[in-house]
Chains A and B, each alone.
Chain A
Amino acid sequence: MDKVAWWKPPLLLDGAMGSLLFDMGLERGQAPESWVFEHPQRVEQAHRLYVEAGSDIIQSNTFGATPSKLAAAGMAGQSALVNRTAIEIARRVATAGTIVAGNIGPTGLLFPPMGTATEEMLLSEFRLQAEALAGAGADFINIETMYDVREALCAVHAAHATGLPVFASMTFEKTKRGYFTMVGDRVSHSLAALYDAGADVVGFNCSVTPTIMLSMLQEARPVCTCPIIAQPNAGNPQPTPTGVKYDAVPVTFAKDLVALLDAGASVIGGCCGTTPEFIREIRQLLDLRA
């Protein structure tokens, strides 16, 4: 990463995108990606809120923009256009120093024995998405929320082939025997495999609180020689009559994220439940340290 001009860690990502769009009127069952066509100005506004809050990096609204996931949401054949348009929207908001990440999430297709996905299938999904993101001017590809290292590796290979830097995060949960993905991939093994496949920055996002992510980071640190990215959820989800609220408050969350930097992370940000308010608090703490 040292040859990349914008690589000046610590770098601050944005927070959750989907929940902001729900607040702006996205309906349940509607794909967030559909808004790059239907309400580009609202997607633009969501990015703007994060830029104003102090994010160094904003991420395109393309988490579910692989061909098969879009097809399941009634948007078959639109993957390349969705990804291009989403980068263009993010670019409109980016200030001189803002880094624009092309975001890639899981396809939802599962490998055997859970499903019938093959490596060829997933490689072609991710190639199409990564090439569209890169072609539209993404500064790097950010792969997130992967739960099967086999799928994550397909995404990393496809993203790496674009020539852009690649960040790759997986989502691990706590079990009685340590941290694993839902298919049983271990933290150290997974992150090492992503790095070996060409990811420049590897790490964790979603599923857990900052405190749990800190202990994952401590487990990974001795085996990871590359920079680490960490994006925890805003605490634990709590049920409310209208949905889920996360229980962390921005001030505490910000301190916990700084602790992740101190433990060796180079890139931090928020996943589910985080808002521009969370990012603003982290920015303030980072500015105090600078």
Chain B
Amino acid sequence: MITRFITEVNAKFNPFSVASRSTRLFLSSLPSDARSTGMKINAKLLPQTSKETASLMVKFKDGKEMDLNGEQLGIKGIIEEVDRHSRALQKQADLTDG
């Protein structure tokens, strides 16, 4: 997964729900030096009894915000969506750098 262009990740999930699995896995797929390279990662855990669905918000360097529904997409879908935008940014960055 291309994580260079992500500036902020906000996740909210109930760990006792099976549906929140992909959101949790997305957090674990971020690199180990993500925080030290300037990415803001906020994870909020919901209580066991809450029926709220898991939510994941990803913000990119160009200001685009992406609200991803982990329950429908699954971890592969989330990574695909994030990478689609990251690849465009990568292309732009390559062109401007020369």
Task: Tell me whether A and B are bound partners.
Answer: no
Q: Which residues of A contact B (CB under 8 A)?
A: none
Q: Which residues of B contact A (CB under 8 A)?
A: none
